[in-house]
């Protein structure tokens, strides 16, 4: 399906969520989404275009509009794991997995459980009707500074993580981590408040994919347009599922890849990715549609 048509359908649905009154009037810059606990301020396509023009970049609209992706911004709420329903989306704690699951490791180092995402909690059809809508995704990564700074680990991007997919959610067990994991390597549990929003690519992404090549325009995009958009609509970095990444040092990647998951540093949870940084999981778009996770790779970036 044409990506622009998907985005257009997404915006029409958001508009219908805000329709009110006998006249059916609405403000499509503020909508009430069933998954959100409060109103989400989000720019419409028209508002994004206007801000782009105000930054002197209006000539790129016909290119940029196809790069705007819906995604989920997620806010962790610290919750005792005993109060978290088996199979619910969460950060940290213990994974709710099939009993046949084997805890992953990199070489002799057991991985830490980062998060699980229950796809049934997310309106996946709003993002792309070809994306999976059921099952649970589990994210694992070694949480050990000594291992991170071993050159072999960071260069082994496709093997230094595990994304496991469980298609059935009826029979799950809350699995304890290996005894060899320290207390610091087991993250505190948190439920997720999910907010659906439109996301835009970083200037590095535009340059890497030859969508914007003029240096002056790239600087205007990164130093004027992007910060203005983030400040106007109070965009956070945080935890993300799909959409575009929150770029810290470099935000470029091939256009056939998507951000699958972004983990933030969080003192309460006990996560610290290279000095208040981020951990990214990337996957090819077609691989996600086919539920193929063997080639997921990671990037860990500090501030």
Instruction: Give tens-digit pLDDT for 241-277.
Output: 999 999 887 888 999 999 999 999 999 999 999 888 9
Q: Is 112 exposed, middle or buried (0-12, 13-18, 19+ CB in 10 A)?
A: buried
User: For residue range 75-119, what is the model confidence (pLDDT) as tens digits?
Assistant: 999 999 999 999 999 999 999 999 999 999 999 999 999 999 999
Q: Give dist(CA 39, CA 48) in Å, integer.
A: 19
The pLDDT of residue 192 is 95
Q: State how far Cα 261 lies from the chain centre.
A: 4
The pLDDT of residue 34 is 38
Q: Give dist(CA 243, CA 147) in Å, integer.
A: 29
Element at 6 (helix H, strand E): helix 3-18
The residues with which 109 forms a beta bridge, in sequence order, are 106
Q: Give dist(CA 113, CA 92) in Å, integer.
A: 6
Q: Give dist(CA 277, CA 8) in Å, integer.
A: 33
The pLDDT of residue 30 is 35
Element at 162 (helix H, strand E): strand 161-166
The pLDDT of residue 37 is 39
User: For residue range 32-87, what is the model confidence (pLDDT) as tens digits?
Assistant: 433 343 444 567 888 899 999 999 999 999 999 999 999 999 999 999 999 999 99
- CA torsion 53→246→253→59, rounded to 10°? 0
Q: Give dist(CA 12, CA 10) in Å, integer.
A: 6
């Amino acid at each position: 399906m044409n990506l622009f048509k998907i985005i257009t359908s997404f915006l029409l649905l958001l508009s219908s969520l805000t329709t009110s009154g006998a006249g059916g009037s609405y403000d499509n810059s503020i909508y009430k989404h069933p998954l959100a606990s409060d109103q989400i301020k989000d720019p419409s396509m028209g508002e994004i275009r206007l801000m782009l023009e105000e930054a002197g970049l209006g000539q790129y609209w016909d290119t940029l509009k196809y790069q705007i992706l819906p995604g989920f911004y997620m806010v962790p709420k610290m919750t005792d794991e005993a109060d978290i329903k088996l199979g619910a989306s969460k950060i940290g704690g213990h994974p709710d997995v099939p009993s046949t699951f084997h805890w992953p490791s990199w070489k002799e180092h057991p991985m830490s459980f980062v998060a699980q995402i229950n796809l049934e909690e997310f309106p996946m059809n709003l993002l792309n009707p070809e994306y999976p809508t059921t099952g649970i995704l589990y994210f694992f990564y070694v949480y050990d500074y000594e291992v991170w700074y071993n050159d072999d680990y960071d260069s082994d991007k496709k093997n230094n993580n595990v994304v496991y997919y469980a298609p059935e959610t009826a029979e799950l067990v809350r699995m304890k981590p290996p005894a060899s994991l320290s207390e610091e390597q087991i993250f505190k549990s948190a439920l997720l408040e999910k907010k659906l929003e439109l996301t835009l690519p970083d200037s590095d992404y535009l340059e890497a994919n030859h969508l914007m090549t003029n240096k002056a325009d790239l600087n205007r995009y990164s130093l004027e347009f992007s910060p203005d958009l983030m400040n106007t609509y109070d965009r956070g970095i945080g935890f993300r599922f799909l959409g575009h990444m929150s770029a810290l040092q470099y935000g470029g990647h091939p256009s056939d890849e998507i951000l699958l998951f972004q983990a933030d540093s969080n003192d309460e949870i006990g996560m610290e990715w290279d000095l208040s940084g981020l951990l990214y999981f990337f996957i090819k778009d077609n691989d996600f549609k086919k539920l193929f996770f063997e080639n997921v790779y990671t990037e860990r970036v500090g501030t």
